[in-house]
Structures are given as C-alpha cells and as structure tokens.
Structure 1
Amino acid sequence: MKNSLIAATILASFASAAHAQSSVTLYGLIDVGINYATNIGGHNQYSMGVGNLAGDRWGMKGTEDLGGGLKALFVLENGFSLANGKLGQGGDEFGRHAYVGLSSSKIGTVTFGRQYDAITDLTYMFVAAQTWAGYASAHPGDVDNTDGSNHINNAIKFTSVAYRGLTFEGTYSFGGIAGSFNQNQIWTLAANYVRGPLTLGAAFANARDPNFSYFGNNASSSATGSNMAGSRVYSGYASAKTQRIFTAGAAYVIGNATVAVDYSNTQFRDIGTLPGLPATGAGGDARFNDIEANVLYKLTPELFLGAGYNYLKGYGVNGATYHQGALGLDYFLSKRTDLYANAVYQHASGTDSTGGKAVANLNGLTASSTQNQAEIVLGIRHRF
C-alpha cells in the first residue's frame, strides 16, 4: 500500500509538471452567406454559400515546452460545411491539417503529416483570394494552388525561423508506391523576405502524377479515374506526368493601403503519360501564365475595401484566356466577427483544356454555358 501511494505521488507530480509546460487550444472559423451566381450551367442561382472568404473549420492545436528553446507541437484541423454538416476535403476527418513536429526557437520547425505546401505558406499574402476576396476569386481553377486548394499527404516540412526578415521552407511528400521512389512524390520550396512595409516571396512546386498525388489526396479520391474534373481550366490534362508551378510576388504597405502583385507559371508536362485519363494534346505540354494585381484599403479601423484584377493565359496545347475582376467590402463588428460583401466576374475566350471553346468557370462553381460568369456574396464570418 505504501509503495502504491509513493508511485501515485510520483506520477501525479509528473502529470502536474507536464500540465504546467503544455497547452492545448480548441479553435475554429464559421463563414456563411447568401450567394447569387449567374449562368450555372445556363441558369442563375441563389444559394446558401459556406466558406466564402475562408473555409469552415474547427481544430485542436497544442505545444509542449521541452526546454532549451525546443517545443513539441501538433495540429488537427477539420474542414466541414456549415450548410449541411458534412465533412470537407472529400470526407477526411482532419482534411485541412493533421501533423506533429518539433520547433526550435533558434533553427525552425519540422513537421510530419498532411499539410499545406510551401506555395500556400509563404506566398499567400500576394493573392486577393487568400487575404480578402474569397474562394471564387482564386486564379481560374486555382491552377497554381496559390489559394491552397491542394494539400499534401505524407509530407515532411521544414520552416526556418526568420533570419533578418528572411524565411525559407521546404516540403517533401513520399509517393508511397512500392518499387517506385519517384511515383506520386511532391516537393516544394519557398522563401519569403519582410523588411518594413515590403514583403517579397517566391515558391516552386514539382508534383509527379498530379492527378493522384496533388489532386487525388483525400478519402473520396479515385485510384484509377480523374481527380481533376473540378475545372475546365485543367480537367483535360489529368494524364500529365508532372505538374510544375513557379510563383513570385510582392506586397507593399502605403499608408492605409496594401498593394500586391503576383506572377505564376504552371505547366502540365508529358500529357498522355498516365493511361485511361483525359489527354487533350497528348504528347505535349500545357502551360499557363498568370498575373494578378490587387489593393486593400483601410477606410476606417473597422472597414476595408478591396479591388483586384487577374489575367490567366494558356499556351502550348491550349489557348484559353481568362480575365477576372473582384471587389470586396469587409466590416469588422469585433476582432472575431465581420460582415462582408464580395463580387467576382470572369470572362473566358479561346480553347480550354477539354479541347472545346473556353467558357467562364469561377472557382468552386459549375461552369457557365457562355464566356461570362459572375457571383455576388453577402455573408458573415466568426472566429472562435
């Protein structure tokens, strides 16, 4: 009995010490609005839209102080739809994030699991869709993943501490295919530099077999069919052997305004390599150049106005062109709750990835039956 009491006392002391050095936080975000979209397959549509500015989520994150500037950390983040309660990210329980790792205050952080790539982490601040304009305003089809549509499974990520304003990051995703080290693998690199009002950043991503690695990354993904049917911008290139993305941008704060520009080059290479999948322009490469400029202006401490323009030009085996504009107004009732109004318009021309006449296809919407499509959203967002 005496030995049991001693053991219980020792265990309790360890538990108290661990509790004192650790923390776990429950957090989340809810975003819902009334959406009006023109020409959804030939018809206008009124609907309840969720995740308009930022995806609905709840999560848990925690840290444990290990001493000497070293910490253990984890994040488990779920995506869902407020409209019907369904899981997001194809039904994954923690489809937005699921990782664990170690962080050093002197060197940086290494994490293991399902994560964003380096493009999303270090160049998001140059893109209106990530900062104020919402999902529909992403570059057409989010073809360059600057809006973070594609996550990475089985990933190792290292993010450095900031060295005199410079941060760099690298990720590597194991393909996990027996006998083939390169199949389905993804790697990304990025750097970000901040000095006063100026932010600069650049990133590169290389995804082998993107239909199965970059796009086919959740529970509902097909192991044999196309996972790239979500947008006519790229759906014809599901059989490509490799997707490569380079993006670079800059942002500058001038008084109450933040001005940002972003450029990306996306390539689907060796189309037709993966059998049984859409192969428009088989044997060739499809390339896209994208240029965006946007500005966010603080009218008052609570009220923000944003405007942006995006131009996407396809070349190689396609010749599609997309012009897109966005306007946004955001009013903060508090630090955690805001009301917003957004409008996005897209005009398409040329020949798209399906080999047919390009039609407008705003991100997340069913393609238009014509060259034009628009969406207006009135909504509320709350963080907890």
Structure 2
Amino acid sequence: MKKAQGVTGRRSVGKVVGTLGVTTIFCSALALTSVAAHADSGSQVQLYGLIGTYVGSVKRSDTPQATALMGSGGLTTSFWGIGGKEDLGGGVSAIFALESFFQPQNGAQGRSSADPFWSRNAYVGFTSDFGRLTFGRQRNPTYTEESLVNPFGSSTVFSPLVLQTFVTNYGGTIIGDTVWNNTAEYTTPNFKGFGATVIYGLGGVAGSPGIGNLGVHLNYQGHGLTAVLSGQRVRYTAAGPVGAQYAYLAGAAYDFKVVTLYGAWAMTSDVSTPTGSHTYEAGLSIPFSPADFLLAEWARTQRSGPTPATNSLRNTASLGYDHLLSKRTDIYAIYSFDKLSAHPTGNTFAVGIRHTF
C-alpha cells in the first residue's frame, strides 16, 4: 500500500522495533502530555491517533482467489502521534508532529516493513497569521486533496479514486507515496475559504540536484462547496536517464444537505516512458440520520502506453454503510467491485470499526 485524519468526511481526524523501544516511546509521549499540563500556557503537547481494523473477504480483479483476512485500518489507516506548539510571541508559534502508522491486527509498525518508524509525518516548523511553513517528512497534498472529493476519504482500502491513483496493487497511476520525504511545505492562511499549498521535496541524490518533487495545490471550502485543483511533478532515477511524471487533479464536492455529491478527474503523464492515464470518479453520501450514512463511489482509469501491456481499463466501485456510535467511534460495512480489462471481476466484502483518541 502506498498513502488520514479522523473519521472520514464527517470528523476531522517492518515490525515494531522491539517491545521495549515502543513501550519507552509510548511512555515518553504520556510523560510529555503530563508535563504539558503543568507547562506555561504558551506550550502545548498532545498525544493523539486513530485505531481501526476490518475483517472480510478481499479479491481484486487480477487475483485468482479471494482472501479472508483481518486488515489494518480500513476506512482510515491506523496511526498514533505526538504534536506540539509553542508560542514564540508576535503571533508566531513553533510546531512539530511525529506520527507513526501501525497495524493493529498484528502489532507491527508502519503500513508495511518498508516504512520508517515515524512513517506518517515527522516535521517541525512555524505557524502565524502569514501561514504555515514546515520541514521534514510530510503527507502529499495531492492525497489530502483526493480525500476531500470522494465519500470514502483517505481510505487506501475502499476508496476507488485512491486505489486507482495511489495503491500499487490496483495499478496506482501516481508515482510515489502518499507521504514525501525531505520536504519544505508552505500553506497560506485561509482567505474567505480559499487556500493554497506549495511543497518541494529535495531529491537527495548525489550529483543530481535536479531530482526533486514539486506540488502546487489550491482549494476552496465554504457554503457547502469543496473544490480542489492540484498539480505535481515527481522525478525519479531508474536504469536509464532521469524520469519525470506529471500528475493533475481537479475535483469538487457539494453538500445539498439531503445528499453530498462528489466528482473528480485525474491525469498522469510520464514524459520519459511515454505512458499516461486518465481517471474519472463520481460518488455520493446520503445521511439517513446524524449517525447513519450511505456511501457510494465509482472510478474508471484508462492507462495508455506504447505497448499492449501498458494499455488497460479498470473500473472499481464501492458501496458502504457507516454508523457513528459516538463522536469518536464508528462501525461500517462495505462491498467493493473491481474489474480490470482481460481479467474476471473481483468482489470484496468487509465490516470494520474505527476509534479516534
């Protein structure tokens, strides 16, 4: 899995390196939280996170058989973190965040063994009336923007839009992870609902100063409307010369009270291969009550390239029911359909639970 804040759309939210190491870090986090309660009012430290899991039968179109499993995350990838803020005076504050993905079904660190310990975010920076400037490992804003314009939010398990663009097993069209290393990110203040983010990731490749990621992102939220526009460039090294992929996203969601409608378009172009893709997404969320929501989403991706092997068409759809047990806990049931050209259909059935803390 390549890529989560809180409960999706409605509430803004290798193996563990030894039991002793994790226990020490966790206890340190609790100690920091305790110290913060006695610190001056200009300094704040918080421990927070989300834990979720699901059980079900999972089958993609290009796999021969279904797999019965207990999976990590589900609607939101499980994580925990420590965040802090200190008032420096003059309206400026220093901020930091250290966040780690984990797998509750087996206790392992990260989304997979390839993740570093602080796999979700690890940054430090400043915030003021002039915006926010941070440095470190940070979430890719394109992924964040996608989560705003589909009913399954940031889910790398059930959202057709996220699956087809970011998840390798589903032929994800966007090169790179949902988190970028070595980045500097600036986010503007909110101005009447409008905001912008610019992110740059240094490549860190000796002799290749031009290897780096760049993203420019615009969004608007207000009067029931959410709209996003993103563009990013990812440069990479392979067996041959330096490659570059350009990815673009445009999407919107509108809350009509009785239903929220979603739509998005994404495009990628690799100038060195050459290959490309076009993705279209549509979805809706219907609130049957303040605690009950019907979610539905469909995405279609057409990949194109110079050979038959690089040409394909994929359709993925998900239908779900989400019930809020409280402000911090929800349960859900989801069915997903997947069809890749030249392969039989795949069907996934799952039920899950999430809890924020």
Q: Fold match, TM over 0.5?
A: yes
- Residue 311 of structure 2: aligned partner: 319
1:143-182 to structure 2, matched below 5 A, reads 143-144=172-173, 149-182=177-210
Q: Does 1:108 align with 2:97?
A: no
Aligned counterpart in structure 2 of residue 332 of structure 1, from 321, 324, 333:
324
Please, what is the CA RMSD of the aligned residues? Answer: 2.5
SS in 2 for 1:124: helix
For the Cα contact (< 8 Å) 2:159–2:318, is it kept in 1?
no
- Residue 86 of structure 2: aligned partner: 64
Aligned counterpart in structure 1 of residue 143 of structure 2, from 94, 99, 120:
120
Change (3 A) 1:60 1:22: same
Counting matched residue pairs gives 310
TM-score, structure 1 normalization: 0.75
CA–CA separation in structure 2 for the residues paired with 1:123 and 1:43? 30
CA–CA separation in structure 1 for the residues paired with 2:332 and 2:37? 45
Question: Over residues 346-376 of structure 1, what are the superposed CA-to-partner deviations in whole Å (9 max), with x where a residue is unaligned?
Answer: 1111xxxxxxxx5xxxxxxxxxxx3321211
For the Cα contact (< 8 Å) 2:266–2:278, is it kept in 1?
yes
- Residue 282 of structure 2: aligned partner: 293
- Residue 333 of structure 2: aligned partner: 341
- Residue 5 of structure 1: aligned partner: none
Spell out structure 1 runs of 4+ moving beyond 4 A: 15-18, 131-136
**Identity in percent:** 29
For the Cα contact (< 8 Å) 2:146–2:154, is it kept in 1?
no
CA–CA separation in structure 1 for the residues paired with 2:88 and 2:249? 37
SS in 1 for 2:83: strand
- Residue 221 of structure 2: aligned partner: 194
Question: Over residues 140-160 of structure 1, what are the superposed CA-to-partner deviations in whole Å (9 max), with x where a residue is unaligned?
Answer: 2523559x9431100000000
Structure with larger Rg: 1
Question: Over residues 104-157 of structure 1, what are the superposed CA-to-partner deviations in whole Å (9 max), with x where a residue is unaligned?
Answer: 1x21000000001221234420123426794463342523559x9431100000
- Residue 4 of structure 1: aligned partner: none
For the Cα contact (< 8 Å) 1:133–1:342, is it kept in 2?
no
Question: Over residues 149-181 of structure 1, what are the superposed CA-to-partner deviations in whole Å (9 max), with x where a residue is unaligned?
Answer: 431100000000111221000000111223221
Structure 1 unaligned residues grouped into runs of 5+: 1-14, 212-223, 225-237, 272-284, 350-357, 359-369
Which structure carries more strand by proportion?
2
Q: Does 1:304 align with 2:293?
A: yes
1:344-363 to structure 2, matched below 5 A, reads 344-349=336-341
Give the partner amino acid of 1:347. Answer: K
CA–CA separation in structure 1 for the residues paired with 2:97 and 2:193? 25
For the Cα contact (< 8 Å) 2:77–2:155, is it kept in 1?
no
For the Cα contact (< 8 Å) 2:187–2:197, is it kept in 1?
yes
Q: Does 1:86 align with 2:86?
A: no
Structure 2 unaligned residues grouped into runs of 5+: 1-35, 167-171
For the Cα contact (< 8 Å) 1:132–1:328, is it kept in 2?
no
- Residue 215 of structure 1: aligned partner: none
Aligned counterpart in structure 1 of residue 233 of structure 2, from 195, 198, 206:
206
Change (3 A) 1:116 1:239: farther
CA–CA separation in structure 1 for the residues paired with 2:208 and 2:241? 18
1:97 positional shift = 0.5
SS in 2 for 1:128: coil
CA–CA separation in structure 2 for the residues paired with 1:118 and 1:18? 33
For the Cα contact (< 8 Å) 2:52–2:74, is it kept in 1?
yes
